[in-house]
Amino acid sequence: MTVNIDVGTVLRGTVCDLYSNLVTRPTGAAVRTAIEQQVIDMGASVVTTIDFSQVNLLDFSCADEIVAKLLLRYASDDGLPGFLTFRGIHEGHIDPIETVLERHALALVSWHEGAAELFGYVDDDERSHWEAVRDHGPIWAESLAPILAVSEAVAAHQLDRLRSRRLIMRRDDGFAVPGTVARGS
């Protein structure tokens, strides 16, 4: 199950109904807290998508409070369940988001016009494996290995790294990028 949370709506509902810019740290903290509460209230969603399309301006403070700290909550042992993806990230959001991702050594999956993109702190092996999963998934390590000309053990190791970072998810039919529509659905 995928749940969409519109950050613009959360901003106007929790901070001020006149705001369309995600600026200042208190604003970011209030929006993040409201999103976390929504995720908890909605229960067992598998993929939560945070939608930035209604957000005009995003500064570093809000990128840190919302994007980085939400990802950190998902990554922690007692953190939020499921997977977190983003959509509606436009050109003006990229610099603050990538800056905070690198600062915390984090990465995220973003959906843009029906295609998944990977932002943030990843090494070349992680990126190549992630892109192969995106392009060929759902897929298992034995099918992925020949595509990337690596051993099955290497492919399995990289898939495990990506899964532990919640950048891919393990499904019954193989590894896939979170938010990918299951075949036949």
Partner 1 sequence: MTSVISVPPSLDDHSFEHVFEQLASVPEGEKILVDARHARWASPYGLTALLCVAQSRAERMAFAVPEHADTVSYWSRTGFFRHAAELYDMHGTVPRARDAHESDVLLEITPITKSDDVHGVVGRIQQKAADILHGQLNLDTAITGAFGMTLSESCQNIVEHAGLGGWVAVQTYKYTRRLGRRVVVIAVCDAGVGFRKSLESSPGHRRSDRWDDAMALEDAVLRAVSRFRHGDKGRGQGLAGIRRFVGRWDGKLSVRSGTARIAITPEWDEDVPMTEGLPFFPGAQMQVTIPERLGDAPVRPRTAGASRARPR
Nearer to partner 1, 135 or 142 (CB): 135
Told to check if 103 binds partner 1 by CB under 8 A, we report: yes
Are 1 and 47 in contact by the 8 Å Cβ rule? The answer is yes
* Nearest CA among 185, 178, 182 for reference residue 3: 178
User: To the nearest whole angstrom, how small is the minimum distance from the Cβ of residue 117 to partner 1?
Assistant: 6
Told to check if 137 binds partner 1 by CB under 8 A, we report: no
Are 137 and 152 in contact by the 8 Å Cβ rule? The answer is no
Q: How far apart are CA 171 and CA 127, in angstroms?
A: 20
Query: Considering only residues 79-98, where is the footprint of partner 1 by CB under 8 A?
Result: 91-96, 98
In the chain the first and final C-alpha atoms are separated, in Å, by 12
Told to check if 111 binds partner 1 by CB under 8 A, we report: no
Run of H or E residues at 116:
strand 115-120
Told to check if 64 binds partner 1 by CB under 8 A, we report: yes
User: To the nearest whole angstrom, how small is the minimum distance from the Cβ of residue 58 to partner 1?
Assistant: 8
Q: Residues in the site for partner 1, rule: CB under 8 A? A: 16, 18-21, 23-27, 56-61, 64-65, 68-69, 91-96, 98-100, 102-104, 107, 112, 117-124, 127
